[in-house]
Amino acid sequence: MASSLSLSKLVTPNARSASSPESLRSRSIKTNFLAFNLSSTTFRTNLSASLRTHHENAFKASLRVRCSQTDGNGVPAKRTVLHDLYEKQGQSPWYDNLCRPVTDLIPLIESGVRGVTSNPAIFQKAISSSNAYNDQFRELVQAGKDIESAYWQLVVKDIQDASKLFEQIYDQTDGGDGYVSVEVSPNLADDTEGTIEAAKWLHKLVSRPNVYIKIPATAACVPSIKEVIANGISVNVTLIFSLERYEAVIDAYLDGLEASGLNDLSRVTSVASFFVSRVDTLIDKSLEKIGTPEALNLRGKAAVAQAALAYQLYQRKFSGPRWEALVKKGAKKQRLLWASTSVKNPAYSDTLYVAPLIGPDTVSTMPDQALLAFIDHGAVARTIDSNASEAEGIYNAIQKLGIDWSNVGNQLELEGVDSFKKAFDSLLDSLQEKAKALKLVSK
């Protein structure tokens, strides 16, 4: 039961345990995307080679389906813990990756994935290391598009094609889920007006109702969030690393809804992407430098503790008279989205940033490693608020050791923006080289 799960148990980074393979019957049922091996109690589901990494290697991993049920027509319905995550706990599992062909997403959708996130680093890997974009890129450059304009056309096609795959989920949930996210240029992270105009332009260019325009939660872009929401554009606010900045993001969303002048707010939605693993990466270094037993015992606990407090803040802000007035106009809560859920320290549990952060009205976006680990051996239970007082104790203990949470947030924000800028600029450089290789421009 969720109530019996102690936060200390959830956030203490235990070494990974290998799952012992179950005995399988010899009969195999093959489908176009999934191969099932049937046993008496479980399906072993293998992703086919159609699931590729950004380097176009076969994305081979085992998905363990916990149970098999039948729908009204007697057809076996494939279920994984991802279905249970959404249906039993109200958390939407999303996939943090996107590349061509987007049909590679189909088996993931069948396995319970309900949305997709992307960022400049993801597209840098996808486009620079794949030939799947060459034909469209060639046509764009030959048509006179400059390199950056061509980049956006490549990205928009992926986003549009992916959003089509999630349309059914979007419709079934009345706009509550089934989103694909695309980010404005990271070079605008310090440009309030530039971000507003870029978000409007990208929203118009993509022209899909189930697409989030990603805007970074920098100090300069918080006012941009308000303005973009006020214009009726749904937003994924990214690169949130601190409670202080998260509260500013919530306020920008509420301010934007109130300023919109819309009588029906139901189609203006948002998620707030709170980054997790990078927090531990930075704070662990400081704890190791301090070196006391108390400090060392806090390693691997900071990120989840801060996330648990963020959820408390979410609950407080989306309640009370101000919020209820917006609800009467159809407003939807800005869901918390857990980002950066892959484990950076191999000594930690491979579900460290997924399992302790399960709660209603939230999203967990997972890259390959985290997604497959959770499907294979993740447990579904409400954990995000199972021990709020312990989360606060961890947070305060870290502060008392001289580690300033505001400084941590600021440093991680700068590093995150810089990382995305470098990925964006690197991709433009690689496209320039690709144009030369395809003999589309003179050397």
What's the rounded Cα separation, in Å, for the pair 80 and 112? 7
Strands 180-183 and 211-216: parallel
What's the rounded Cα separation, in Å, for the pair 51 and 58? 6
Q: Which residue has the tokens 């109702």?
A: 209
CB atoms within 10 A of CB 70: 9
* Given 214, 226, 317, 434, the catalytic residue: 214
In this structure, which amino acid lies at residue 354?
V
Beta bridge partners of 365: 94
What's the rounded Cα separation, in Å, for the pair 75 and 144? 51
Q: Are 413 and 275 in contact (CB under 8 A)?
A: no
Q: Are 54 and 46 in contact (CB under 8 A)?
A: no
DSSP string, 163-194: HHHTHHHHHHTTTSS--EEEEPPGGGTT-HHH
Query: Active-site residue 214, yes or no?
Result: yes
CB atoms within 10 A of CB 205: 15
Contacts of 11 (CB under 8 A, 6+ apart): 300, 301, 304, 305, 352, 356, 394
In this structure, which amino acid lies at residue 307?
A
Region label for 440, one of left (φ > 0), alpha (ψ between -120 and 50) or beta (otherwise): alpha
Q: Which residue has the tokens 């806090």?
A: 298
In this structure, which amino acid lies at residue 292?
T
Give yes or no for a cis peptide into 186 (omega within 30° of 0): no
337 alpha-carbon distance from chain centroid:
7
Contacts of 171 (CB under 8 A, 6+ apart): 178
Residues annotated as catalytic (active site), given as ranges: 214
